[in-house]
Amino acid sequence: RERRRVNDVLHRAAKVVAGVVAEENARPVMEELTHIRERIRYGGVMNRRLHSIPFRRIQFYISYKGMEHGFKPETVKPENTSRTSMCGEISKPNGHVFKCRRCGFQADRHLVAAWNIAMKLLMCRPLPLAAKATDEFKEVERIVIKS
């Protein structure tokens, strides 16, 4: 019963994502989650909760719903997506705000990861990005956060 509910929620989420991507004519990109379970080490209770999340299934659903809408999501390796694109510092997330101790950069951690994933695909070069990305990131932040 719980599995059916989870699958229903995943299908609905994938349908929304596929609809938005098709409507906006966007290019969907996802992290490659092949070995994510081996990287999770947080202790008994948290490991159990994290291991129960169907990481790969949501990607599969987005892929097949995407094919119905005429797109195929691309994947990138997850390395370096937790770095600030300003100075390259890795910051362990503390809540939802990504704070760099080196350069003082602050943003929502999911926005930082999404930015880095997009840049990995678009720029086809390893992260961190050059310092010129600062202005580009501020523009994206202005559009996404303040709109």
What are the backbone angles phi and psi of residue 14, rounded to the nearest 5°? -65, -35
% of the chain surpassing 70 pLDDT: 73
- Average pLDDT (99-114) is 81
**Distance between CA 60 and CA 41 in Å, rounded?**
25
pLDDT at 28 over 70: yes
Q: What is the pLDDT of residue 147?
A: 41
Q: Is 59 helix (H, G, I), strand (E, B) or coil?
A: helix
Model confidence band, residue 31 (pLDDT cutoffs 50, 70, 90): confident
- Tell me, what DSSP letter sits at residue 115? H
Model confidence band, residue 132 (pLDDT cutoffs 50, 70, 90): very low
Task: List Cα–Cα distances, 56 to 30, 33, 52, 132, in angstroms.
Answer: 11, 7, 11, 34
Instruction: Note whether 116 and 83 are within 8 A (CB).
Output: yes
Omega before 128 within 30 of 0, i.e. cis? yes
% of the chain surpassing 90 pLDDT: 0
Instruction: Note whether 30 and 121 are within 8 A (CB).
Output: no
Q: What is the pLDDT of residue 126?
A: 47
pLDDT at 40 over 60: yes
Determine the Cα angle at 119 with ends 115 and 122, to 5°.
140
Q: What is the pTM of this model?
A: 0.63
pLDDT at 142 over 60: no
**Element housing 33 (H / E):** none
pLDDT at 27 over 50: yes
pLDDT at 29 over 70: yes
